[in-house]
Amino acid sequence: MREAIKKKLPEGFSEKFKLSDAERAIINSPKEQLEAARLKREEAMFPGSEAARRQIERQQKKPEPQRPKRKPPGPRPAKDWPTHVKNKVNDLKQVGEPVPSASYFVDHCRDTLGVVPDLRAMQRLLKTLRGG
C-alpha cells in the first residue's frame, strides 16, 4: 500500500508530509488521497492557510437539518358552522333572496350555534358558495 501511495505522490516528497495509516484508511479514492496530501503539505508549509481552513471546515461540517414533516390540518370547525351556513345560503338562493354579508352570518352562527367563526373564514366560504 505504501508503495502505491509513493507512486502517486510527487518525487522528493518528504516523509513528514505523508499521510498516516489512519488518515489513509479514512480517505478512499486516489483523487481524495492526492488532495489530502496536497492540503497537508500546504498546512505544513503555511500554517493557518486557506487550504487548511477549508479542510478543517470540511471535517467539522455538520449535516444539514432535515425539513420538518408536514403538520396535520387544524381542528375541525366546532358544531360544523360551514355546513349550517351552506344550507342557509342554499335556502336563500331557492327563495330568490340576496345572500347577506359575512358579518351577518357570523352573528347568525353566534346566535344559533353558539360559535363565533372567524370573519375572514366566513368571507372565504361565502365567496365559494356564491361562485366567485
Show me where the domains of the chain are located. Answer: 2-60, 78-130
pLDDT, residue 14, reads 46
Identify whether the C-beta of residue 93 lies closer than 8 Å to the C-beta of residue 85: no
Cα–Cα distance measured from residue 88 to residue 69, given in angstroms and rounded to the nearest whole number: 38
All cell numbers assigned to 65: 437539518
Residue type, 80: D
pLDDT level of residue 40 (50, 70, 90 thresholds):
confident
pLDDT, residue 38, reads 76
The whole-model pTM stands at 0.43
37 pLDDT above the threshold of 70: yes
Instruction: Give the residue-averaged pLDDT of 25-36.
Output: 65
Residues of the chain by 3-state class (helix, strand, coil), percent to 5: 65, 0, 35
Closest CA to 105 of 95, 96, 94, 91: 91
pLDDT, residue 16, reads 47
Cα–Cα distance measured from residue 15 to residue 39, given in angstroms and rounded to the nearest whole number: 15
All cell numbers assigned to 75: 381542528
pLDDT in tens, 56-77: 677 666 666 677 777 777 777 6
Residue type, 113: L
pLDDT level of residue 18 (50, 70, 90 thresholds):
low
End-to-end CA distance of the chain: 75
In terms of C-beta density within 10 A (0-12 exposed, 13-18 middle, 19 or more buried), how is residue 130 classed? exposed
Percent of the chain whose pLDDT exceeds 70: 61
45 pLDDT above the threshold of 80: no
Instruction: Give the residue-averaged pLDDT of 79-89.
Output: 92
Average model confidence (pLDDT) for the chain?
76
